[in-house]
Structure 1
Amino acid sequence: MESIVFALLFIFAVALPVYSYSKRQRFRLPPGPKGLPIIGNAFDIPVGHEWVTYAKWSCEYGSDIIYLNIAGQPIYVLNSVQAINDLLEKRSSNYSDRMVMAMCHEIVGWGKNFAFMPYGDFWREHRRMFHQHFHSDVVSKHHIHILKQAKDLLGRILADPDNLTQHLRFMAGASILRVSYGIDIQPENDHYVGIAEAAVHSLALTGNVGSYLVDNFPILKYLPSWAPGAQFKRDGMKWREQVNRMFDEPFELVKRLMAEGKPSDSVTASLLAGLDERKDKPRQELETAVKYATGTSYVGGADTTVSAVATFVLAMLKFPNVQSTAQAELDRVIDSGRLPTFEERDSLPYVTAVMKETLRWHQVTPLAVPRTVTADDEYKGYYIPAGSLVIGNAWAVLHDETRYPNPGSFDPTRFLTSDGQLNKSAPDPVEACFGYGRRLCPGRHFAMDTIWLNIAFILTTLDIAKPSDEMGQPIEPSGEFTSGTLSHPVPFKASYKPRSKAAEVLIREPMFYD
């Protein structure tokens, strides 16, 4: 970095209290990379697939807790289900706050997402609004929109098999935009899907701790955007505009329609209609809470579904025996010429196990969003000071060989009993995939329903296989996944064929419930 950046770093480093680097002498801390004077482990933070490195360190140091220190900021990475449950679940009152990251939250503007908000009344207000429309008892009212988009996805895949990710984004975006804002999106190049995808891309790039130097040295955020070494500021300004548009534009559309006497059937309209009943806060403040709560729904719902269903398709390519077993179950339960329904889920335990294994095999968010410790604590004899960051490594938990033998294999039977029913005593991956304690994702029921139905529809109607190259040899998928806060399979090719003539007719016919 240019001289200005180095000068600022030097000033900041000199200002740091030296006592933070003698803590290892005064307090017992977990093992971890040794680090350097002043800057600590700033250059030890892994770049790309951090979750794998953290799990590797956990094995190398013989500890399920790894300690890092970045310029005085303590970071504790939890790599076991016991440590995560003991701290993030049982002591959730002390481990539910959030760190405000300079790049992601302040510069880019993702602080609007209530999943990233500090713990307190403001966060509770947003979560309460979200929860009342997405908890398990009411999510079924959204099933009609999930069904429509899952059915449309089949035709899109069959017509254009080389753009799976694009089709999945349309399916997920259409579902959540219809539920949240009452918006029926355009078949191609939809405006609202476009601005949301651009915004979410910035979250994937900036959401993990240490993704940008400014997160470790917040003083850098005061650099002018034109300064040498301030490309992060220029990128952040562009991304901030996209984030603002994602939250603002669909919300303002609903408000305008309501003002014109055309209220939409949507979560936003329902929440806005109920605001007059509340007199304890200014309406503008409550409207902002509605905007942030419903805007968060796109991030939480869309990308989870896209990554999970793409991961499922990848698994069917690599483990074709799983596909044939799931299809055999569907053929036994579902009458020919129709699609499965949510009501038949209990009769399809293997399909449900496929969904669970999809979530376990590779997580959308391999690292949980960092927590901030509210008060000094001690665990296993280790000192955890207030203000420390604590990160749950979901990938390490879901690839723990003691809980999931042969974790690299895609094996739905790990969630089944010997007679083929769901094993309620098997460790459920949902616990690690959707967060912990008071920060457990409130949209998980909607996400899991969407993932399950898409998996069931695809397995019922399509055979997924590896395509062939010009020499007739199968094209092997890389099986790689992207890095970042949100992780997706690297694009791959697949062949999709209707399982029968009846299946093809089913895919192409108009919506079965129209």
Structure 2
Amino acid sequence: MGIPRDSISMNSSITTFPLLAFVFLLSAYLKRRTTKRPPLPPGPPADPLIGHLRIMPSEQEELVFHEWAKTYGDVMYFRVLGRDIIVLDSIQAATELLEKRSALYSDRPSFTVYTSLLGWEHNVAFFPYGRRFRKHRKLLQSMLTQQSVVKYRPIQLINSRHLVKGLMGNPKDFEHHISRYATSVVMRIAYGHQILSDDDEFVTILNDVTHTQNNGGTPGATMVDHFPILQYFPSWFPGTHYATFAREWRWAIDKATTVPYEKVKKQMAEGTAEPSFLRAQIEAISGSGKDLTEEDIHDLKGTAGVLFAGGADTTASSLETYILALLQHPEIQKKGQEEIDRVIGHDRLPTFEDYDVLPYVECVVQEILRWHPTAPLGIPHRAMEDDIYRGMFIPKGAIILANANGMALDENVYTEPTKFNPDRFLPKSQGGNEEPRSIASFGFGRRICPGRHLAVASMWIAVATMFATVNVNKAKDEDGVEITPDLIFETGITSRPKTFSCSITPRSEKAIRIVASECESLAG
């Protein structure tokens, strides 16, 4: 009996891949040794051929990089399996390269796991720099400028009331209520759909998408991204974990982009579609006398899907971080509630018209963004040409990581940076430090998050409404001892607190009545 052809093919692949990898690494190593150029940025000592593979962190990379930056500086170089990696650990370096030299640093590396396998090939965040990237950015920016997002305030307002109503009624499920709030806002904007119940299918869809984003690995940094050939190997082969996960969960991304799109198309045909981003874009194309092409459909699904999945997940994770911060620093809640009571009183809830008279609430929002950015290392950029910065050589094709978390922990900028302290942003005349707001949370240059103004507004009204209506305290164990949750964050594309418990109670019976009344009147 002969050996099965499949077995021969598999054995051949298993023996050939290491050989090809060795040849590739050797050639890259020899080329680097013989090429004359300015010095590379400093970094930890590397091994021949494999570079920094053995010492590269697999968890909390942003914290490890920040510690290394204290020794090697705010621009560091790493080489992993032949790939050049530059880590930027200061606002200055990130601004000078990713913004002032954005023409050289707006590209993306290959994201095999998230695009080819998981199904985000129509997500502008992963596009290489070029025509399609600019097209999607233009579509999103048409509705997400600082001036444009003001028209979404009624949507954010009513959903903030439903958020605290849910927290009052079922506080143990606070993560669900936060997810529902964030999902409701972006669903209404992107697709015109208002979530009215806890079992709404789009809440489930977003939870599935969030699972993929929390478990798909660091974009562009998995073994499959380094060696795309691994996507064709069996799941038991070393280095293929994320490829297997992506294939198994691709359906979640397909569902998140297709189901709401088809629903809006059906509603438009029936004449029942509510105003939304997707409806407006479809009508704009139809109004020009053109039929929707396959590219148009992919573009509309992709841009609306980015609003839905990206906007909801980042806002939800930021609000969970806010609750975690209150448990670590209860004095923050006391000060926030004092401002609300002094300015707003107890007979109504805060609105966006109160923004300018609630400076501490704004400081809390800014501190949430600084204290633990939702994307600690952002999404990698790629150098499009060789460059020299401060006399250091940055090679074409290098992956550029902007360490937003490291920038937030810069002791030269922030006093006690690990402490959650909104006062740091207040003027010195008001007892603050006048420290600068972190600009790293939403990325840099041409890749800055287009939905940042919407996200900040959603966070502000949620924080203000929670200060006005509920108390957030530590949960207690069966012996009545308070439980202080650990500061542990799960990291994928976004970073959010690991599941923790807390106690959320209404501030008063009057607060319950006002919330119920506003939910009813705003719904009408």
Aligned partners of 2:285 and 2:292 also within 8 Å: no
Tell me which residue corresponds to 1:43. Answer: 54
- Distance (whole Å) between structure 1 residues aligned to residue 352 and residue 380 of structure 2: 34
After alignment, is 221-230 or 138-147 more displaced?
221-230
- Distance (whole Å) between structure 2 residues aligned to residue 370 and residue 5 of structure 1: 30
1:213 aligns with 2:223: yes
Aligned partners of 1:349 and 1:421 also within 8 Å: no
1:471 aligns with 2:482: no
Change (3 A) 1:433 1:281: farther
1:8 aligns with 2:44: no
Amino acid aligned to 1:242: A
Match of 2:165 among 143, 155, 171: 155
Match of 1:428 among 422, 425, 437: 437
Tell me which residue corresponds to 1:460. Answer: 468
Could you tell me the TM-score, scaled by structure 2's length?
0.92
Unaligned runs of 5+ in 1: none
Aligned partners of 2:107 and 2:384 also within 8 Å: yes
After alignment, is 8-17 or 219-228 more displaced?
219-228
- Distance (whole Å) between structure 2 residues aligned to residue 13 and residue 203 of structure 1: 32
Tell me which residue corresponds to 2:32. Answer: 23
Change (3 A) 1:6 1:29: farther
Amino acid aligned to 1:113: N
Cα distance per residue 1:144-203 (max 9 Å; x no partner): 211121111112112222222111111111111111111233512322222232123222
Amino acid aligned to 2:151: K
Could you tell me the TM-score, scaled by structure 1's length?
0.93
1:298 aligns with 2:308: yes
1:142 aligns with 2:135: no
Unaligned runs of 5+ in 2: 1-9
CA RMSD of aligned residues (A): 2.3
Describe the SS at the equivalent of 1:336.
coil
Cα distance per residue 1:316-361 (max 9 Å; x no partner): 1111111111111111111322110101100000110011111111
Describe the SS at the equivalent of 1:88.
helix
Aligned partners of 2:488 and 2:497 also within 8 Å: yes
Number of equivalences: 510
1:322 aligns with 2:332: yes
Describe the SS at the equivalent of 2:476.
coil
Cα distance per residue 1:375-397 (max 9 Å; x no partner): 11011111111111111000010
Tell me which residue corresponds to 1:451. Answer: 459
Deviation at 1:485, TM superposition (A): 2.3
Amino acid aligned to 1:410: F
1:76 aligns with 2:79: no
Deviation at 1:420, TM superposition (A): 3.4
1:410 aligns with 2:420: yes
Aligned partners of 2:75 and 2:93 also within 8 Å: yes
Describe the SS at the equivalent of 1:243.
helix
Tell me which residue corresponds to 2:411. Answer: 401
Change (3 A) 1:5 1:342: farther
Amino acid aligned to 1:129: L
Describe the SS at the equivalent of 2:495.
coil
Deviation at 1:277, TM superposition (A): 4.7
Describe the SS at the equivalent of 1:162.
helix
- Distance (whole Å) between structure 1 residues aligned to residue 383 and residue 193 of structure 2: 40
1:351 aligns with 2:361: yes
- Distance (whole Å) between structure 2 residues aligned to residue 388 and residue 13 of structure 1: 20
- Distance (whole Å) between structure 2 residues aligned to residue 208 and residue 235 of structure 1: 13
Aligned partners of 1:13 and 1:39 also within 8 Å: no
1:190 aligns with 2:200: yes
- Distance (whole Å) between structure 2 residues aligned to residue 390 and residue 90 of structure 1: 15
Percent of aligned pairs with the same amino acid: 35
Deviation at 1:12, TM superposition (A): 2.5
- Distance (whole Å) between structure 1 residues aligned to residue 168 and residue 42 of structure 2: 52
Describe the SS at the equivalent of 2:255.
helix
Aligned partners of 1:350 and 1:420 also within 8 Å: no
